[in-house]
Every structure is written in structure tokens, then in C-alpha cells.
Amino acid sequence: MHLGCTTPRDVLAAISENDIKMVDFKFTDLFGQWQHFTVPVEHFDTDGAFEEGMGFDGSSIRGFKSIEASDMVLRADPTTSIIDAACALPTLSMVCNVFDPITGEAFERDPRLVAQKAVDHVKALGIADTIYIGPEAEFFIFDEVSYHQGRNSAAFSVDSEEAPWTSEFPGGGHKVGLKGGYFPVAPFDTLQDIRTEIVRAMIDAGIKTELHHHEVGTAGQCEIDMQYAPLVQMADQVQLFKYLVKNVAKSHGKTATFMPKPIFEDNGSGWHVHQSLWKDGVPLFAGDGYAGLSELALNYVGGILKHINSLLAFAAPLTNSYRRLVPGYEAPVIAALSARNRSAAIRVPMYSSSPKSKRIEFRCPDPGANPYLAFAAMVMAGLDGIKNGYSPGDPAEEDLFEEENISKYTQVKGSLSEVLDALEEDHDYLLEGGVFTKDLIDAYIGYKRLNEVDAVRLRPHPQEFVMYYGT
């Protein structure tokens, strides 16, 4: 339940009014995972929580600090106060910012700080005062999952009562075929009630939610759309949304994943990010240009397309992201702008003629991204486009999923290694206004290469045994 707090005093009142037993403090590591610790309400201290900060070991958090300088502190944001629906006892939860206890300065690798700096930078430039973000997050809910990786063996398995390869589940005759999961009703859609429960939990937590439905992928692919919100608020909501999805699924004996491509030869999970700039209550993306966009909006798109490969290091940040970003699975691999056309990297939704509805939809990201860094990077790329007057190029009107059309356009890079290379070469636009720092970018690239790229690149794949064992 969202508590509507704005001050530490409000938090104290909420603790009393709701018979709170525990207080939980959450923050996000460099790569998008929520971390937390919890204190009994008897030991909750407003000075520590909101002013002095609460200490933790930064060297144990991915991408934060080394062991010789590990002491960090958290300061809670009272406006994020909710009653945590996943906890058995009444627990008040707050999102925190990270600080250095010696200098008292905000920690430059705190993703939430980066997002706030992006917003402040836009305001300082005088371009806009509000950045609205509206993500469409897809995910899978499975009945079972198992995986194993060793030196001499590797395996994974997922299962769903909806999947065409199963028969032992009740109602086994009603199956969702590969790429056949868009909008089916029950009994094909077995997850209606679970999605509804997630949506109600989101609404109770203060997340305005527009709709939910089954997605194209088989074996339980779902989508829940949130109403647009200001950038930092939306990044907070994305973290809470993922938390609620996973915990509601678990409460039903199922398991949810935001992994972009868990099933071979089926559609992966995208994270289409709608965005627009506003100033003084006026939408800045509406105009008389292509698809009803303003020149500012077209330049914004031009910036995203110019920097798309380095941008994907934050927006599609997993090795698995590039199992999804391939032609043939409704994945937008073409760096182009189009109205209505879902096969382009950037689409202009045309459902409404209202200027307030005018926005762009960046379709390459996936829900494995850290929302704070991804949203901030998108905005910084767009701002660079506005600053330099970048054109998005000729719009792509044909079906870009057709092989004969793909060759006419530039495709995005096809691996995490390549987009990290792009980020290493193309990141000056991120450094503008001190939004990102070179230290953060270097730490991010180094960790990804060592712990993700090499972890996959150096291991034999089961398919290689199929193809090569008898060589």
C-alpha cells in the first residue's frame, strides 16, 4: 500500500497508524538488482534514516566500492514509502540514495543519482522541466525452471502448462503455440488471475497501471503496462514492479523471469520505452513534422539513433539480450524511425491525435536493464540530438522483418561485447552535465566484460557438442 508520505514526520505517523513492525531499506546496484536490509521498528531512527545515513559494506555490492574504501551510507526517500506486500509482518519499505560517509557527497555510481542528474541536466539546459517515461515490460511466468553450469556439464529447463511441448498438466489440450500467444482467452491463457493480482498489488503500491495481457511468446509470456510518470519516479516503479511480479508468481508456486530470451525459436521479452519532454505543462514532442512530431522530437530521435549502439550497453545490457535482438522474432534490429511500424527501432504511436499523447517508443531495450541508467542514457542521447540538430534520416515504412528489406538499413550491433566496445568509443554525450562519470562507465564496462561476456564466451555450449563432438 502506498502511504503518501512526503516528510520523515509523515513516515513516523504512517508507522504508528499502520502498526508497522519492520522498516525495510532498498537500493539498486550498478546493474539493476534491488538490495535491502531491514530493521525492527523499535530501532528505527529518523536522523539515521534520513540525515546521517545508515551504514553498509559497499564492497559487497556489485560495481560499488573496493574493500579498502567500503564504508557507505544510505539515506531513505520518504516519498517512496509503501507497505511491502511481499512481507508477512507489516513492513514499511523505502527506496534509498547512496552517499559517501567521509565526504558526505552523493555516490557517483548510485544509479538513482544518475537518473536524477539527467533530469536536473534537462532542466538546467532550459529545454524541458519534465521527462515522462512509459515502459511496456514483458516477462515470462513458468511453472518450473532449473539450470546448472559446471566445468563438465551444463543444462537448463523451463516448463509451463501452456507450452506446446507439455501434456501432463491439467487441461493439456489447450496449448499456446510458438509465437501464438497474443491475446488468447482462457483456457489458453492460464495466467489471467495471476496478472490481475499483480496489477492490484501495483495499484495498491501507488503504480498507475493501464492494462495487462498475454504476449506473443508461448509458455506464459505476459505484459503489464504502466501509465507514464516522471523519469526517476518511473525507474523506482519499475524496480517495485519487478519485485511484485516475482513475489506474486512465487506465492502461486510459479516463477517469473525478465530474462529477454529464455525460449529457443520463440519471441523474447522486450521493454518498449515510451518517452516525451514537457515544459510548463506543454508537450514538446507534438508538431507538424513526420508523424506529427516537432523538430525537437525529430532531433531527439536522431540522437538516439546516432548513439544507439553505445546506448544499448545500458538498454539491452545482457549477453542474452542479443538472443532476442535478431531478425525474425518481432525484435527491432533496424536503426530507423517509423510511424506505426513495429519493426523499426523507434516507433511513433498513432492511436491518438492529441498533442498530449505525442511520444516516441524506443523498442530495442529489454527488461534486463537497470531502469535508472537506461532511462538516463536514452535522455542524454536525445539531448545530444537536440543540441546538434541530428536528423533521424528517412523514415522506414516497409516491413523491416522481411529479409529483402533488412539489407537496406543499418542494423544494431549483435552482441554485448560489440555494444560495450561502442560505449567505450562513444560516451562523451553521457558525460555532459556530469550526469554519467567516466569512472562509472569504466567500472560498468569492466564488470560486464569479465563477469558476463567472458563467462559465456569461454564456456562450451551444449549445441557445440551436437554439432562438433564427432568431428
Could you list the active site residues?
57, 136, 138, 215, 223, 272, 342, 361, 363
Quote the cell numbers at residue 125: 539546459
Distance CA 392, CA 406 (A): 17
Do residues 218 and 162 touch, judged by C-beta distance below 8 A?
Answer: yes
> What is the Cα–Cα distance from 132 to 357, expressed in whole angstroms?
11
Q: List phi, psi (to 5°) of 210.
A: -90, -45
The 10 Å Cβ neighbour count of residue 233 is: 18
Beta strands in 118-199 (DSSP E): 130-142, 144-149, 154-159
- Residue 375 gets the label, from left (phi > 0), alpha (psi -120 to 50) or beta, of alpha
Neighbours of 403 (CB within 10 A): 9
Measured distance CA(409)–CA(396) in Å, rounded: 9
Taking the C-alpha atoms of residue 442 and residue 30, their distance in angstroms, rounded to an integer, is: 12
Could you tell me if 287 and 294 are in contact, meaning their C-beta atoms sit under 8 angstroms apart? Answer: yes
Collapse the DSSP code of 344 into the 3-class scheme (helix H, G, I; strand E, B; otherwise coil) and give the result: strand
Give whole-number Cα distances, 42 to 19, 48, 349, in Å. 12, 13, 51
Query: Residue 364: phi, psi to the nearest 5?
Result: -75, -35
Cα-Cα-Cα-Cα dihedral sign, residues 27, 30, 34, 39: negative
CA–CA distances in Å: residue 78 to residues 43, 119, 237: 17, 19, 15
Other Cβ atoms closer than 10 A to 50: 18
Q: Could you tell me which residues come within 8 angstroms of residue 80 by beta carbon, excluding any fewer than 6 positions away? A: 93, 94, 95, 236
The CA distance from 105 to 165, in Å, is 55
Kind and range of the H or E element at 273? strand 271-279
